[in-house]
Every structure is written in C-alpha cells, then in structure tokens.
Amino acid sequence: MRGWINDLRIGVRLAVGGGRTSIARLALSTIGIGIAVAVLLLAASVDPMIQARTDRTAAMQPNESRIDDVAPLRFVQWGTEFKSDAISVLSIDPTGSTSPRPPGLPAMPAVGEFYASQALADLLAADGSELLRERFPQRMAGVIDPDAVTAPDSMFAVVRTGPITTAQGKAAYSFGIQINTPPMDPGLLLLILLGSVALLVPVFIFIASSTRIAGAERDRRLSALRLVGADGTQVRRIAAAEGLVGAVIGLVLGTGLFLVGRQAAAGVRIMDVSVYPGDISPTWWLAVLVVLAIPVLAVLTAQFALRRTIIEPLSVVRFSKPLKRRMVPRVAAVLLGVALLIGADELRPSEQLWSVVVATGATLLLVGVPLLLPWVVERTVSGLRGGSSSWQLAIRRLQLDSGTSARVVSGVAVVLAGAIALQSVLLSISDRFGPTEYVVPLDSKFVVLVGTDEAVAKLTADLTALAPAAPVERYRDVYLQFDRDGAATNVRVADCALIERKLAVTGCADGQMFSTYGDTDRDDGLTPGRKVYLSESGGTSSRYAEWTVPAIRREVSRPATDEVLFGVVVADGPSAPKPDPSRWVAGARVYVSDESALERVRTAAVKVGPDVHAQWFWASTYHSPQEELFLTIRRGLLGGSLFTLMLAGVSLLVLALEHIRERRRPLAILAASGVPTGALARSLFWQIAVPIGLGVVVAFITGLSLSALIMRLTASADYQVDWVGVGVMTVAAIVLGLLVSVLTLPFLRGATRLSSMRTE
C-alpha cells in the first residue's frame, strides 16, 4: 500500500510541479474536463427543471373537489396580452373566512387589491405600459412568492374585484391538483432519446481527448522514471495518477462553472423558456455517476494510451509506424448498434426496455464514428503520394500518426452525425405535429372578440364610442343538433346590414337563411321547416331549446378569405336561433390600424370583464399539447446541437494547439532549414482538413443510417432527409475546421522560433 501511495504522490507532483509544460498540459485538460462536467451536470438537471415547473403549475390550479367546513372560493381564470407578453389572471371572491388562499400570497387581498408576479410588477412599472396599467385599476398589495410562479418571466396576477356569481365563475375548496401526463408519442420519445445520445456522446469523447493531451511528453517523463528505477507497473500507476489530477481539478472547475452559471439562469431566456436557479439541480444519482465516471474515464484513457507504448529507461518505443488498425472490432460495435435498433421493433414503446435498447443502439452507432474514423484516415492516406511540399508534409505526418488527427476531429464528426440524424427525424415527423395556421391578408389587421352575447355587445358599444370610425362586425355562432346519429352543425347569426354588405345581397329580412357554399345540392340537413335542437357545443346532452329552420334559403357566392360570414348564415331577428346567454358563442371583428389601437381594444375588453376576450388574428397559430411538446423538443435539440458543435470546436482548438506545442521542436527545425512558415501553416491545415473531410463522409453515412433505423420504429411517419439541414451542418463543420486552422497561426509562429529548438 505504501508503494501505491508513493506512486500516486509522484504522479500528482509531476502533474502540478513539472514546470511550465506540465502546468500548461494540466490547464488544458482541466479546462476541457471542466466544460464537459458543467454540460453533464446541466443535462442531469433537465428532468428536475421540468418537474419543478410542473409542480408549481399544479400547485397553483384551483381544486374544485368539495371539502366540508371549507367556504368555497369563487374564481374566474382569464387572460390578456400586452404587446408580445401573455398575462394570466385569477379573479377571486372568498365566501368565508375558511376560503382557501391562493399559494404565494401573504394574505387574502381585499376588494380592490391584487398581487402580481415579479415580472408583471416590473412590466406595470415600466415606461410605455400606461394601457396595461388601465387594465389593473386596483391597488397592488404585493408580489407573489416566486415559489408559486411557474417561471421568472411568468406574467401572473391574483385580483379581488368583487362578488363573483355562480354563473360567472367556479368554486374552489383548495389549491393543487394532480397533473396526469398523457403517454408520450413514440415519435417524440424517439426524438428525445436520439437527441440525448447525440448531445452527450461528443461530451464524453471530449473528456477522453482532454485526458490525452501532451501524451508524448508524458511518455518521456515516464521514461526518465524508468531510468531511476521504476518498473512498468509503477509507471502505469504514476500515469494514472497524472490523469486523475486533471480529472479531479476538472470536476471542481466544472462544478464551479455549473454553480456560477445557474445563478444567472433567472435572467436568461432560451427558446422562450426561463427557469429559477434553484430548479437547476441535478438528479442525485446522475450527479454521483458524473463524479465517479469522470475520474474512472480519465484513468482508463491514460492506461489505454499506453497499451502500445514500451517505456524503456532510455527511450520510448513508439516512433516506428504502428500496426495497421483492424476493421473487424470497430465494425462490430456498429453492427451491434444496428442489430439493437432493428430488434427494438419487436418491443412496445411503453416498455422501459424499449427505451434502453434504442438509446444503446444509437450510442453504439455514434461511438462507431470515432472508432471507424482512424481506420478510414489510415487507409486513405496510406496510398497518397506527391503534391506540394505542404501537402507532402501533412500526408507524411498522417501516415506516421493518423490516430492523433483522427481523434482531434472525431468529436466534430460525432456532433455532425448526430445533427444529421436529428434533422432528418425532425423533418420526418414534423408533418404529424405541424401547427394549424390561420393567416389573413396583409391589408386586414383585425382583432376578434369572443365571449358571451351580453359582454360582446357591451364591448362593441364601448369600442364604437371610443373610435367611431373603426368598423365593428358582430355575429353569433349557434350549434344545432339533429336527431339522427347525434349529427351536428352550426350556423352564424348576423344582422341584415352586415349580411347585405358582406354577401352583396339585397332584401335581407328576419328569418332568411343564406348558404355561402356555392353548391345548391349540398346536403347539410338544414331543410326548410325542419325542427332541430339548439345545443351548447354540439353534444346531445347539452340541448336547451328547439328551432325551426327558416322557410327561405338563399344561395350566394362564397365570400373572400377574410370575410366573417361563411357556411350557413341566418339573419338576426325574432326568428333567429338564440344562444345560451352564459356561453361564449358571440363574436365580433374589430379592425385596427396599428399596435396602439390593438392595445386600446385589449384594454377595453379587460374593462368589460372576464366574459369577453380580445384575440389578435393578424396571423395566429394553434398548437395542440403534443405540437407544443414537439416544438419545445425541437428548439432544445437544435440549440443543444449548436452548443455541442461549439464544444467540439473548443476541443478541436485545444487539441490542435497541444499538437503544435508537442511538435514545436520539429517545426522550429523545419523553419530553420528554410521551410516557409506559410508552408508549415498549410501543412497544419491539411492535417486538420483531410480528417475533417473524411469525418464528414463517415458522419454523413452514419447520420443517415441512424435516422433511417430510428424512423423504422415509427411506422406512421415517412422517412425524409433534410438536405438543407444536412448541408448547413456540414458547412458548419468545415468552417469550424477552417476557423481552428486560422486560430492556430499565432501559436505556429511562436513554435517556429529558433529558441524552440532548445532541448534538455
């Protein structure tokens, strides 16, 4: 045991006390590992972040389950918008001293008071928010506790305006409900699994590469230790201790970067999402796994680097050309990954084993990139001859040691392969989660008012008095229920003035019905004189009255795209169907000229009350919950791909600089012999460009194969290749290689000075 401890002490001393070279090597490896650790800890915090947001959202939801001895809290949930910000409002009316208090409030607000989230309070106090302040005439009693607000940028308010009747609102007996998350679509689950693997595999490659920095110099130091009496086993333990020092310091640095970075999280908004710093807390077992895996990976990498190195007391036997790499073991990992992805088709997506098999198969395919790339580079450059002096220098260097250059670019190649697979999968399933868009002509900006008939009528009158020149077009939608098979349809009710103006007809009168289908043979069931039921929403259980279809039905031309009258239109009057007054079936269209007019309409809607809402239909898009989840996943994966590509670029730059530092003496000798610095620079460029070009080919094949195998598991989607995305990521990888080459030029000039020829 004393011998082991002594060997570890020597390794630590060599790592931290071996002069400027050792310090530089330690600094580079520490920075690399630190960045990777910070990324891994952030990845381990994703699930807690999502869960924390979900818990806060669930805790704020009113619970309508009756509780004895609890006075109900009457409430109405409504919302408004101000510029690009959506604001949620909870209007409350406690009916007794035992009424539940909304979470985050220090006390129940008095009548005429409200509490606001910090983001909403800041917005209300900002310049230019006068129209927003008019929507909250009550006195602000305080700020809602952040623990009860979903996110730092959430706009939320709890208002106590006065009595809320049973017809106006609902009754809550407590706060906090169980949110049942529906089963995730298999396509989305595949996307998450593939994205996680594609983003994390390059991080581990970066860690492995960082621990092998300055390998040649380390071998020479170990040779000196052999000279003073150390045996082969001791040398390996000392090498492991050297790698362990960088890993441990990198762990500390990465943890520090993670802790410092999360403190700024509240002020950062990424992909329309913001989080509290306290939410960014890694899952404990994943954090433990990172802490244990990094040192183990560093030690294993250091030992793996010595597998073909014979360290003698007077030299290191590593300067001869290594044996040709064998292809079979490298292809075996890829074939195993393919087999797992094919075999996953026999499992059900609801099974946990399915996720494990898919993730393992995708990991093996991506790991195949750094396994295959050295073999591809070695076989490609072995037969190259001739060319310019810079080309010959680069090719000869690659022929002698292609593994180092291949390892340098393997991180970029893995990111590229993962990005290609992600882009293709995203495109293939995007049709299933595409949004429903409602776009209106550019010359007809308008606001749609939706609410109860009484509220819309009052708001229409207010808007007319506010801006008499602004046209307001009112209508009502009424659902009709037939006897046969529960079939239903709806008609739109409007006054004759609007019908005559919009449909270009004359002689409109009460009881007339207009069909805008343009097809007199269309069978919609609305035959003259037929009795139908009026329904709240088209359901058989919501019938509330009968109505007789008018005897007169006129066929008219279909209106333009931006018209409010379409389908079947009934002239308003005593004979027209009357909707349930408590239902949101009334609507109106208000044309606005600019953003200020839009905000005035929204303010007027809030003043009328929560029974009406103003929605800007300049160009609106509806997203279902699954569509929203798909968009969130897509934004996260694309952002993660760009970040991982940047991380791979940092890895490439760090290792390229270390490559120059290790070869500074041969480079200085070449410069002293008359080789121009430009030729050496071009030589270094070709040493990066050739592996990157081959890496792009390997990544291209791997990415397309991986995406095709993944899409096999989603039979409902058609496989498509996002050639634009593939091209962009490929160009980004090539540009990254060029940029790294340019950044190495100042260091190359320093390495070619005559002083770099000095040696011990």
**In the predicted structure, residue 594 carries a pLDDT above the cut 50:** yes
Where is average pLDDT lowest: 167-171, 389-393, 605-609, 658-662?
A: 658-662
**In the predicted structure, residue 681 carries a pLDDT above the cut 60:** yes
Q: Determine the average pLDDT of the residues in 381-410.
A: 79
Q: Determine the average pLDDT of the residues in 280-287.
A: 88
Q: Which residue has the higher pLDDT, 46 or 181?
A: 46
Q: Which residue has the higher pLDDT, 602 or 733?
A: 602
**pLDDT tens, position by position, 87-115:** 999 999 999 999 999 999 999 999 999 99
**pTM attached to this predicted model:** 0.70
**pLDDT tens, position by position, 657-669:** 777 777 777 888 8
**Residue 323: predicted pLDDT:** 58
Q: Would you call 494 helix, strand, or coil by DSSP?
A: strand
Where is average pLDDT lowest: 234-243, 349-358, 371-380?
A: 349-358
Euclidean distance between CA atoms 696 and 266, whole angstroms = 38
**Residue 93: predicted pLDDT:** 93
Q: Determine the average pLDDT of the residues in 742-751.
A: 80
Highest mean pLDDT among 121-125, 586-590, 693-697: 121-125
C-alpha angle 461-169-148 in degrees, rounded to nearest 5: 110
**How confident is the prediction for the chain on average, in pLDDT?**
79
**pLDDT tens, position by position, 119-165:** 999 999 999 899 999 999 999 999 999 989 988 889 999 999 888 88
Q: Directed axis angle between helix 723-743 and helix 677-712, to 10°? A: 150
% of the chain exceeding 70 in pLDDT: 77
Do β-strands 512-515 and 619-622 pair in parallel, antiparallel, or remain unpaired? unpaired
**In the predicted structure, residue 468 carries a pLDDT above the cut 80:** no
**Residue 725: predicted pLDDT:** 72
The first and second tokens of residue 136, run together, are 């909250």
DSSP 594: S
**In the predicted structure, residue 377 carries a pLDDT above the cut 90:** no
**pLDDT tens, position by position, 155-213:** 999 999 888 887 778 999 999 887 766 555 666 666 666 777 776 777 777 677 666 65
Highest mean pLDDT among 2-11, 358-367, 419-428: 358-367
- Domain boundaries, given as residue ranges, for the chain: 1-61+188-320, 66-175, 354-435+623-760, 446-621
Cβ contacts of 502-506, under 8 Å, gap ≥ 24:
502/473, 502/559, 502/563, 502/564, 502/565, 503/556, 503/557, 503/559, 503/565, 503/569, 504/556, 504/557, 505/554, 505/556
Where is average pLDDT lowest: 183-192, 460-469, 561-570, 745-754?
A: 183-192
Euclidean distance between CA atoms 173 and 183, whole angstroms = 29
- Burial tier of 412 (Cβ tally within 10 Å: 0-12, 13-18, 19+): buried
Highest mean pLDDT among 96-110, 332-346, 400-414, 712-726: 96-110
Euclidean distance between CA atoms 369 and 422, whole angstroms = 16
pLDDT band at 441 (very low <50, low <70, confident <90, very high): very low
**Residue 125: predicted pLDDT:** 93
**pLDDT tens, position by position, 232-259:** 777 778 777 877 888 888 899 989 989 9
Q: Would you call 535 helix, strand, or coil by DSSP?
A: strand
Angstrom CA distances, 139 to 31, 74, 160, 583, 751, stand at: 52, 20, 10, 31, 70
**In the predicted structure, residue 380 carries a pLDDT above the cut 60:** yes
Where is average pLDDT lowest: 297-311, 500-514, 634-648, 693-707?
A: 634-648
Specify whether the backbone of 427 is left (phi greater than 0), alpha (psi in -120 to 50) or beta.
alpha
Euclidean distance between CA atoms 425 and 702, whole angstroms = 14
